[in-house]
Chains A and B, each alone.
Chain A
Amino acid sequence: MGAPVQHGLTEHSHGAGVPLQIRSDRLRSSSVADFPEITKQQDLWRYLDADQLKGLDADVLAEYSEQVSFSGPAGVDFEWILSSAAPVGSIGLPEDRVSAAGYTNASKTLLVKIADELNSSEEIKISVHGDSTSASALHVFISAGKFSNTTLIIEHTGLGVLSENVEIAVAAEAKLNLVTLQNWDKGSAHVSAHFAKLERNSYLKHTVASFGGDLVRVTPIATFSGPGAEVELNGVYFAEAGQHLENRPFVDHAAPNCKSRVTYKGALQGEKAHTVWIGDVLIRAIAEGTDTYELNRNLLLTDGTRADSVPNLEIETGEIEGAGHASASGRFDDEHLFYLQARGITPDEARRLVVLGFLVEVIQKTGIPTLVDSLTSLLEEKLNRN
Chain B
Amino acid sequence: MSILQVKNLHVSVDTDQGAKEILRGVDLTIRSGEIHAVMGPNGSGKSTLAYSIAGHPKYTVTDGEILLDGENVLEMSVDERARAGLFLAMQYPVEIPGVSVSNFLRTAKTAVTGEAPALRTWIKDVREAMDNLKIDSTFSERNVNEGFSGGEKKRHEILQLELLKPRFAILDETDSGLDVDALKIVSEGVNRAHAASDLGVLLITHYTRILRYIKPDFVHVFVAGKIAEEGGPELADRLEAEGYDRYVKA
**CB pair B98 A1 closer than 8 Å:** no
**CB pair B55 A345 closer than 8 Å:** no
**A1 with B107: in contact, given A336-B96, A338-B78, A360-B98 (CB under 8 Å)?**
no
**CB pair B90 A339 closer than 8 Å:** yes
Q: Which of A329-378 contact B (CB under 8 A)?
A: 333-336, 338-347, 349-350, 353-354, 356-361
Any chain A CB within 8 A of the CB of B112?
A: yes
Any chain B CB within 8 A of the CB of A2?
A: yes
| Most central of B93, B98, B103, B111 by chain A CB within 10 Å | B98
Q: Which of B55, B87, B90, B99 contacts A1 (CB under 8 A)?
A: B55
How distant is A300 from chain B, measured CB to nearest CB, in Å?
A: 15
Any chain B CB within 8 A of the CB of A3?
A: yes
Digit string of B73-91 for contact with A (CB within 8 Å is 1, else 0)? Answer: 0011111011100011010
Any chain A CB within 8 A of the CB of B150?
A: no
**A349 with B111: in contact, given A341-B77, A354-B98 (CB under 8 Å)?**
yes
**A357 with B108: in contact, given A4-B57, A339-B90 (CB under 8 Å)?**
no
**A358 with B98: in contact, given A338-B57, A342-B54, A349-B111 (CB under 8 Å)?**
yes
How distant is A263 from chain B, measured CB to nearest CB, in Å?
A: 13
Docked Cα-Cα span, A340 to B93, in Å, equals 11
**CB pair A354 B57 closer than 8 Å:** no
**CB pair B111 A343 closer than 8 Å:** yes
Q: Which of A2, A334, A340, A344 contacts B83 (CB under 8 A)?
A: A344
Any chain A CB within 8 A of the CB of B35?
A: no
Residues of chain B with a CB closer than 8 A to A343's CB: 82, 104, 108, 111-112, 160, 164
Docked Cα-Cα span, A349 to B79, in Å, equals 11
Any chain A CB within 8 A of the CB of B94?
A: yes
How distant is B104 from chain A, measured CB to nearest CB, in Å?
A: 7
| Most central of A335, A338, A349, A358 by chain B CB within 10 Å | A338
Q: Which of B75, B93, B97 contacts A357 (CB under 8 A)?
A: B97
Residues of chain B with a CB closer than 8 A to A359's CB: 98
Residues of chain B with a CB closer than 8 A to A336's CB: 94, 96
Any chain A CB within 8 A of the CB of B20?
A: no
**CB pair A339 B93 closer than 8 Å:** yes
Q: Which of B56, B108, B112 contacts A338 (CB under 8 A)?
A: B56
Docked Cα-Cα span, A3 to B104, in Å, equals 22
**CB pair A341 B79 closer than 8 Å:** yes
**CB pair B98 A357 closer than 8 Å:** yes
**CB pair A344 B76 closer than 8 Å:** no
How distant is B47 from chain A, measured CB to nearest CB, in Å?
A: 13
**CB pair A345 B111 closer than 8 Å:** yes
Closest A residue to B160 by beta carbon equals A343
How distant is A275 from chain B, measured CB to nearest CB, in Å?
A: 18
Any chain A CB within 8 A of the CB of B143?
A: yes
Q: Which of B56, B57, B144 contacts A2 (CB under 8 A)?
A: B57
**CB pair B99 A357 closer than 8 Å:** yes
**CB pair B112 A339 closer than 8 Å:** no
How distant is A369 from chain B, measured CB to nearest CB, in Å?
A: 16
Any chain A CB within 8 A of the CB of B8?
A: no
Any chain A CB within 8 A of the CB of B100?
A: yes
Q: Which of A1, A340, A344, A358 contacts B57 (CB under 8 A)?
A: A1
Residues of chain A with a CB closer than 8 A to B111's CB: 343-346, 349
**CB pair B79 A339 closer than 8 Å:** no
| Most central of B57, B78, B83, B108 by chain A CB within 10 Å | B78
**A339 with B83: in contact, given A1-B77, A357-B100 (CB under 8 Å)?**
no
Docked Cα-Cα span, A356 to B104, in Å, equals 12
How distant is A199 from chain B, measured CB to nearest CB, in Å?
A: 35
Docked Cα-Cα span, A361 to B145, in Å, equals 16
Residues of chain B with a CB closer than 8 A to A333's CB: 94
Residues of chain B with a CB closer than 8 A to A340's CB: 96, 99, 104, 108
Docked Cα-Cα span, A54 to B77, in Å, equals 48
**CB pair B79 A347 closer than 8 Å:** yes
Docked Cα-Cα span, A335 to B88, in Å, equals 14
Closest A residue to B144 by beta carbon equals A339
How distant is A150 from chain B, measured CB to nearest CB, in Å?
A: 27
| Most central of B57, B81, B143 by chain A CB within 10 Å | B57
**A346 with B57: in contact, given A336-B96, A339-B90, A360-B98 (CB under 8 Å)?**
no
Residues of chain A with a CB closer than 8 A to B88's CB: 342
Closest B residue to A345 by beta carbon equals B111
**A353 with B94: in contact, given A343-B82, A344-B83 (CB under 8 Å)?**
no
**CB pair A353 B99 closer than 8 Å:** yes
Docked Cα-Cα span, A347 to B112, in Å, equals 14
Residues of chain A with a CB closer than 8 A to B76's CB: 1
**CB pair B78 A341 closer than 8 Å:** yes
Residues of chain B with a CB closer than 8 A to A334's CB: 57
Closest A residue to B54 by beta carbon equals A342
Residues of chain B with a CB closer than 8 A to A342's CB: 54-55, 78-79, 81-82, 87-88, 90
Docked Cα-Cα span, A334 to B58, in Å, equals 10
How distant is A94 from chain B, measured CB to nearest CB, in Å?
A: 36
Residues of chain A with a CB closer than 8 A to B75's CB: 1
Docked Cα-Cα span, A333 to B96, in Å, equals 9
Digit string of B117-138 for contact with A (CB within 8 Å is 1, else 0)? Answer: 0000000000000000000000
Docked Cα-Cα span, A345 to B55, in Å, equals 14
Q: Which of B146-165 contact A (CB under 8 A)?
A: 160, 164
Docked Cα-Cα span, A353 to B108, in Å, equals 11
8 example contacts (A-B, Cβ-Cβ < 8 A) are as follows A334-B57, A335-B94, A340-B96, A343-B104, A344-B111, A345-B79, A346-B79, A354-B98
Cβ-closest 3 pairs across A and B? A357-B98, A344-B111, A343-B108
Interface residues of A (CB under 8 A from B): 1-4, 333-336, 338-347, 349-350, 353-354, 356-361
